[in-house]
Chains A and B, each alone.
Chain A
Amino acid sequence: MGQTLAQKLVARAAGRAAVTPGEIVTCKVDLAMMHDSGGPRRVKPMLERLGAKVWDPSKVVVITDHYLPEADDDSRRIVRIARDWVREAGVHAFHDAQGICHVVLPERGHLRPGMFAVGGDSHSPTGGAFAAYMFGIGATEMLGVLVTGEIWLKVPHTIALEFCGRLAPGVAAKDLILFLLGRFGLDGGRYQAVEYRGEAIRALAMQERMTLCNMAAELGAQTGLIASDETTRQFLKLEDMQVWESDADATLLESHSFKADEIPPQVAAPHSPANARAASEFGTVKLDLAYIGACTGAKLEDLRMAAAVLKGKKAKTRLLVAPASLRDQQAAEKEGVMQALVDAGAEVLANSCGICAGYGAYLLPENCVAISSTARNFKGRMGAASSQVYLASPYTVAASAVAGRIEDPRGMLQ
């Protein structure tokens, strides 16, 4: 009997030839990623209490992205802890104010297909886009990893989500994942592995794949995976690369197939990403703010989508853009993408988690109605509990900014 991609990745990390879904195994961790909010600030006092050291500093990556820009004394203190701790702990892979961890980690070449990795953040399944088994853990669990280099895991079943055909113009990975959330809900992933497959997935750019895997978290999966291929190899600039993929005869928990070309742009209404339906059904919602930000909504590919809509137009609502990483912002500047956004009226914010995570100086005020390219619209997450957040792709956020109300972007694409 064949093995799924998830089984193969877990088996390798557990030092086994094969594993069975449902059994509990202990895996050796190849990479542990932390950010300033849940990372050193939380694990340092626990390490001190135990009198323990990091098992292997060469396997730890620390990225600051939450308390930036340092808006107050608390933020300065928290980021300072990260900066001091990496020196004390001997961690060399430290990316300070370079962008959001899930984007910076692969951008700086830390991920490889076949790896078993953990991240101190729920959107860590982003790494699954590179055929690495990566998932999010809390700070105490991270402490366990830092001390032992290991973590227990219930071997996941795999839910295969196949998209045949090609995405229609103006439709993006964000629309696919919102469509899936509308269909399966916040616990559709059942803390198992979801694997995205099919022609439409193979055709996606790497950063679009990252968006899909990132929001496996919203689907309630432990991770979201995509088999490695030529797109993976080119993004990681590898000479040669082992292909990691499921065997054709592997047993699946569920298998669902969709026609990608039939999926229209999606919007998720407040206060759940699972409240998704076609963007065209929301015509009467007037907006105060449009936000293009976050690891799942402001990478280079996302900024390009927004610019494709906004070029030569003006935003009617306030438009905030927080590019997900410094490198992506610089690449977008070279391509004229940033200029197109600024010309449309965008205010450009720092390369950090910002409003998406409810951090920083731009939180949504009372009763603010916003459309956002981010991952979650839970009540009060991005500011006041009375604010209303609609989630959508960068295309749809940009088109809605121009229209001043929620708008299907397909009529505005050049």
Chain B
Amino acid sequence: MRAWVFGDNLDTDVLAPGRYMKFGIEEIARHCLESVEPAFVREVRAGDVVVAGRNMGAGSSREQAPAALKHLGVAALVAESYAGLFYRNALNLGLPAVVCAQAAKIRNGDRLEVDAEGGKVKNLTTGETLACEPIPPHLMQMVRDGGLVPHLEKRLRHA
């Protein structure tokens, strides 16, 4: 639930550097964000939240970018806006990504509670509640199922 705050255009090359793409997600995740925040991989804990400014996830289609965050235990993403491709990838992996116009109010290290379905971020450090755009209903079921693969698994079982 700790907030890790980054700026605008946080790109997929810093999230999942190309030179490690030949490896599995464990190894890629070890290098996640190392060129901008070396402490991140060491100190991130399960349940933490990555907060960014505009156009989070700019760049590549490589879904190892959101997958690395998920692998490290990141529970939700909060950003002013997302690159569309990254947004789809995050939700397809079951990683909730909420759009929050006031994301800039969150400080690095704040304690957050993210309600993706209800569309709010509660800042336990400041006591403030920030309104967000909820995840669209046609996608929420998939996120609840844990992503597109378990969602399809369920669908195919019922077919």
Asked if residues A143 and B149 are in contact (CB atoms below 8 Å), the reply is yes
A391 at the interface (CB under 8 A from B): no
Main secondary structure of the interface of A (DSSP, over half): loop
Q: List, sorted by A's number, 29 A–B pairs whose CB atoms are closer than 8 Å.
A: A46-B149, A52-B156, A67-B22, A78-B22, A136-B85, A137-B61, A137-B85, A138-B61, A138-B63, A140-B147, A141-B92, A144-B152, A152-B138, A186-B9, A187-B9, A187-B83, A191-B84, A220-B83, A359-B21, A359-B22, A378-B14, A379-B11, A379-B13, A379-B14, A380-B13, A381-B17, A382-B18, A383-B19, A385-B35
A sample of 20 more A-B contacts (CB under 8 A), given A222-B84, A359-B18, is A37-B21, A50-B149, A50-B152, A50-B153, A52-B152, A52-B156, A138-B62, A138-B92, A140-B89, A140-B92, A141-B88, A143-B148, A148-B152, A185-B55, A191-B84, A272-B9, A358-B13, A378-B13, A380-B35, A381-B11
B51 at the interface (CB under 8 A from A): no
Asked if residues A141 and B148 are in contact (CB atoms below 8 Å), the reply is yes
Asked if residues B55 and A186 are in contact (CB atoms below 8 Å), the reply is yes
Cβ-closest chain A residue relative to B137: A24
Cα distance, A357 to B14, chains bound together (Å): 13
A339 at the interface (CB under 8 A from B): no
Chain B, interface size category, equals 35 or more
A140 touching B156 in the complex, CB below 8 Å, given contacts A220-B83, A358-B19: no
Q: C-beta contact mask, B50-63 vs A, less than 8 Å → 1, else 0?
A: 00001100111111
Residues of B within 8 A of A378 (CB): 11, 13-14, 58-59
Cβ-closest chain B residue relative to A120: B61
Residues of A within 8 A of B153 (CB): 49-50
Cα distance, A135 to B88, chains bound together (Å): 12
Q: C-beta contact mask, A23-43 vs B, less than 8 Å → 1, else 0?
A: 010000000000001100000
Asked if residues A138 and B9 are in contact (CB atoms below 8 Å), the reply is no
Residues of B within 8 A of A144 (CB): 92, 148, 152
A220 touching B84 in the complex, CB below 8 Å, given contacts A38-B61, A140-B147: yes
**Minimum Cβ distance to chain A for residue B88 (Å):** 6
A379 touching B36 in the complex, CB below 8 Å, given contacts A186-B55, A187-B9: yes
Asked if residues A220 and B55 are in contact (CB atoms below 8 Å), the reply is yes
Within 8 A of B (CB), among A58-106: 67, 72, 74-75, 78
Residues of B within 8 A of A74 (CB): 22-23
**Minimum Cβ distance to chain A for residue B144 (Å):** 16
Cα distance, A387 to B23, chains bound together (Å): 23
Cβ-closest chain A residue relative to B17: A380
Cα distance, A97 to B14, chains bound together (Å): 28
Cβ-closest chain A residue relative to B86: A138
Chain A residues close to B by CB (< 8 Å): 24, 37-38, 46, 49-52, 67, 72, 74-75, 78, 119-122, 124, 135-141, 143-144, 147-148, 152, 185-187, 191, 217, 220, 222, 272, 274, 357-359, 363, 376, 378-383, 385
Asked if residues A380 and B14 are in contact (CB atoms below 8 Å), the reply is yes
B116 at the interface (CB under 8 A from A): no
Asked if residues A122 and B60 are in contact (CB atoms below 8 Å), the reply is yes
B123 at the interface (CB under 8 A from A): no
**Minimum Cβ distance to chain A for residue B89 (Å):** 4
**Minimum Cβ distance to chain B for residue A221 (Å):** 8
8 nearest A-B pairs in the assembled complex, by CB-CB distance = A358-B18, A191-B84, A138-B63, A138-B89, A187-B55, A385-B35, A381-B13, A378-B13
A122 touching B85 in the complex, CB below 8 Å, given contacts A140-B149, A143-B149, A378-B59: yes
Cα distance, A38 to B18, chains bound together (Å): 12
Residues of B within 8 A of A380 (CB): 13-14, 17, 35
Residues of A within 8 A of B14 (CB): 378-380
**Minimum Cβ distance to chain A for residue B21 (Å):** 6
Within 8 A of A (CB), among B7-29: 9, 11, 13-14, 17-19, 21-23
Cα distance, A148 to B22, chains bound together (Å): 28
Cα distance, A24 to B88, chains bound together (Å): 14
Residues of B within 8 A of A140 (CB): 63, 89, 92-93, 147-149
Cα distance, A72 to B23, chains bound together (Å): 12
Cα distance, A221 to B93, chains bound together (Å): 22
Cα distance, A185 to B9, chains bound together (Å): 10
Residues of B within 8 A of A137 (CB): 61, 85, 88
Contact of A141 among B13, B21, B89 (CB under 8 A): B89
Cα distance, A50 to B153, chains bound together (Å): 6
